[in-house]
Every structure is written in structure tokens, then in C-alpha cells.
A and B are shown apart, each in its own frame.
Chain A
Amino acid sequence: EAQVTQNPRYLITVTGKKLTVTCSQNMNHEYMSWYRQDPGLGLRQIYYSMNVEVTDKGDVPEGYKVSRKEKRNFPLILESPSPNQTSLYFCASSFSNYNTGELFFGEGSRLTVL
């Protein structure tokens, strides 16, 4: 089954404790992206990647890191989480190579930072 898989789905952590949210897609997609979703603000792009070893900042990259060492994986790293990073996070991927194309989303990871 074609899918984007995120882990963990739910996480409660404390300020400053490094964490990684993994994202994996099995559709051989070139493009991958991370979004955070907050009430009243919609989905805001954190980072995106057009291919292996190619990443770029979205609209809200501060406090986050990403890497794209393999085509299928695009982990989101919070080196020192803070309460304002409490949010619902979505990973998405796309096949298109001339525009973003149809995004396939994971089920989301709900993160709470105390």
C-alpha cells in the first residue's frame, strides 16, 4: 500500500530534550516536506526537500533541522524543543518534478513540549 509513515504519532516531552520525528514514504517520491498545523494558522511549511541531499527552508524553519540521506526518509529533528513547538506535524511527499504536485500526507504526529 502506498503510504507516508510518521513516527511517533503522539509524543510528550520536556523542554530541551532532543527528539526526532521520522518520516518514510514507499512511493519513490522525489519531493518531501514537513508542515506544522496550529489552530487558526493552517499548515505552515517547515522544510522541504526536492531530492536526496537537497533541502531548503520553508516559512517556519527556526528550531528545526532535517536531513535527506535516502530518498524514502526525511526525518525532522528538534535539537532543543521548546513549548512553542507544541503542534501537530505532518510529513508529505510528491512525485512531481516540475511543480509540487499532489501531496500525500502522513497521519500526523502530535507533539507536546512541557
Chain B
Amino acid sequence: TQLLEQSPQFLSIQEGENLTVYCNSSSVFSSLQWYRQEPGEGPVLLVTVVTGGEVKKLKRLTFQFGDARKDSSLHITAAQPGDTGLYLCAGESDSWGKLQFGAGTQVVVTP
């Protein structure tokens, strides 16, 4: 059972455009992480959000955790080809150790 639903599954945009990726669930999470994965490599952590309503910025990336801690979004401003990758959200519920991942959003940014 996929507790975390990511949308869209695939996103292709031109360099300079903005994009938003969504991560939704019916479950409440104590924390939520965003990872980026490039071909042939393991995922790499971008950010962790833990407080409902929290907003974190990482250069051109803005992450938001929903007030009810059930959903999150990732917004990229002025996307660059280096932003290309598979973006994964991962949530941890009350069961410590069981970090569950969404299926991911494949983002392709063309020059």
C-alpha cells in the first residue's frame, strides 16, 4: 500500500520555468524528507521538515509541510538542467525506523 502519493509522475520543462511537485497522504507524519536521485546513484537528502506549516528554502528550491503534516510540496524556481532527477518524498509516522517513500516524480529540465 502506497501511503504517499506523489504528483505528477513525470514533468518535462524548459530551463527557466518554475515547477511544483506534490506529496500527499491520508496519514500524519512526524517528519517528511525530500530526496533527489540521479541515474545510477542512490537518493540524496535535500531537506527534512518536521513542523506543520514549516517552509524551508534551499537556494531555488522551496519546501513546504502542510499544516496537518499530511502533505508537502517542492517548488523549484527558474529550473536549470542540473535540477533534472527523480524527486522522492519520504515520511516517518509514529513507528520509528519505518520511513516510507512515495513513487517519485521524474523531472527533466531541458536547456
Report A's interface with B, CB cutoff 8 A.
4, 31, 33, 35, 40-45, 48, 50, 56, 58-59, 90, 92, 98-103, 105-108
Contact = CB atoms under 8 A, between A and B. Distances in A.
Contacts of A40: 9, 103
Contact of B42 (A59, A100, A107): A107
A42 B98 contact: no
Given A35-B101, A41-B2, A42-B88, A99 B41 contact: no
Interface of B: 2, 4, 6, 9, 30-31, 33, 35, 40-45, 48, 88, 90, 92, 96-104
Contacts of A99: 30-31, 92, 96
A105 B41 CA distance: 8
Contact of A107 (B31, B41, B97, B104): B41
A34 B38 CA distance: 19
B17 to A, nearest CB: 25
A58 B90 CA distance: 14
Given A31-B97, A42-B2, A50-B97, A92 B103 contact: no
B41 A100 contact: no
A45 B92 contact: no
